[in-house]
Amino acid sequence: MFVPSCVMPVMRRTNMLRTVVRRMSQHRFILPQASFDREYLLNPANAPSIEANIQHRKGIGDIRRVQTIHQQLVAGTALPESERTKLATELEAEMAKIPNRTHPLVLEYGNEPRVLKRFNEQHKRTDRKYFQFSDICKKMNLYRMENLGNFTGHRSYYLTDELAELEHALINYAVERLHRRNFQLITVPDLLPDRIIESCGMSVHGERNQVYKLNGGSERESLCLSGTSEMALAGYVAGRVIPTEKLPYKLMAVSRCYRAETSALQEEKGIYRVHQFTKVEMFAVCNRAQSATVLEEFRDIEVSLFDELGLHFLLLDMPACELGAPAYRKYDIEAWMPGRGMYGEISSCSDCTDYQARRLGIRVEPEATETASPETNFAHTVNGTACAIPRMLIALLENFQNEDYTITVPEVLRPYMHGKQFIRRRKVLPELKLTKRLLQEESF
């Protein structure tokens, strides 16, 4: 094919651009090396308190093993380089298992959460029989969960018609309220490197964990389905220094969450505990002096969201044994679910201090009174659930169902549902009658 000479330079530039883009797309983001608090962890005087903290939290870390490996490295200066490298790698892996410290007040709670406040007790419905979520949805023809094992797998579901509208109303309601609080909305990936997930405090190893791994990747660089957008948001700021004027740097995301967990408990049947669901997540990066205040802000946002919906719920300060590895302190919110006759967790928020930041290299600019030391400018991170859809749907449908098989839509959600005040029973011709009618029509 003849190509005019004037077109050749354009084609060459286009081909060069394609090559650059292709190389950029193949480039792997290199996470910074984790930076543990060695001064604290490797000091033998701290071993008893660290060990007690691990026991309180039912953690898996072994501080004695950490310090033994460190002593071997210090004493073994004559060891071959390969042996020292192996010990150093093992030391990093063992330090990564040590959980965060625990807020001293929480240690006083024993193994039970502290109920800080009860909200809307006048709305606790016990006056009559209330259907469980799955039962009322079946009567209203609004969802499907049965016979999906060979299609989408165990514990999956379809939401249809007005129930699907209610899901999106909840998302829009939460996102709009967070916008008012100056959160920045970010769309995040569902696939994440396993190190991002581990750095956020969730294990990806062993047969019994909550993480779905994708087949085909190397063991060193495997990709996983994200369990919560908290992980993707933490990855978004990994390796960055957040300017002081941006702090606290508040982000939100709407994403699908994937959990391999399962449960045989009767109270957790239906969509209470599922393998994939939609969630609106809050995430903040702040300095050391701000994280406790930001945690209180997240807690108050969650309380406000559920209070406006008219739900009866409890605000809990969780004991050490209920804290995941990253959390220094965690609040849970449990809503009354009259169909189940129990309180169920619908939200939580956690102050992770510098646990995630040290593993992902998230830093803030040092304050004017501080020196620019790498140890002092690690950020603190805080996360919280603004709206986890399945649990919220359970709470709404069990609390606001009427005796005529309708659901009253909370007033604050009506603008997001075209002004609908009620969700009504969807009339569907029963499958058996439909089959009979079709057979009759074919016989004519």
User: Can you say which residues are annotated as belonging to the binding site for L-serine?
Assistant: 228, 259, 281, 383
Residue 335 CA to residue 123 CA, distance in Å, equals 11
Residue 51 CA to residue 67 CA, distance in Å, equals 12
Overall residue count recorded for the chain in this entry: 444
Annotated binding site: 228, 259-261, 274-277, 281, 345-348, 383
- R_g (Cα) of the chain, nearest Å: 26
Supply φ then ψ for residue 116, to 5 degrees: -85, -35
User: Token pair for residue 76?
Assistant: 């073994």
**How crowded is residue 105: how many other Cβ atoms within 10 Å of its Cβ?**
10
Dihedral sign, CA of 264, 265, 267, 273?
Answer: negative
Residue 178 CA to residue 182 CA, distance in Å, equals 7
Annotated binding site for ATP: 259-261, 274-277, 345-348
Which residue from 144, 172, 204 is spatially nearest to 418, judged by alpha carbons?
Answer: 172
Location of structure tokens 């005796």: 403
At 443, which helix (H) or strand (E)? helix 431-443
Residue 92 CA to residue 370 CA, distance in Å, equals 28
> Which residues, listed in sequence order, are joined to residue 388 by a DSSP beta bridge?
279
Q: Which residues of 115-153 are buried (b: 16+ CB within 10 A; e: fewer)?
A: eeeebbeeeeeeeeebbbbbebbeebebbebeeeeeeee
Residue 314 CA to residue 43 CA, distance in Å, equals 41
The three-state secondary structure class of 98 is coil
User: Token pair for residue 10?
Assistant: 């354009």
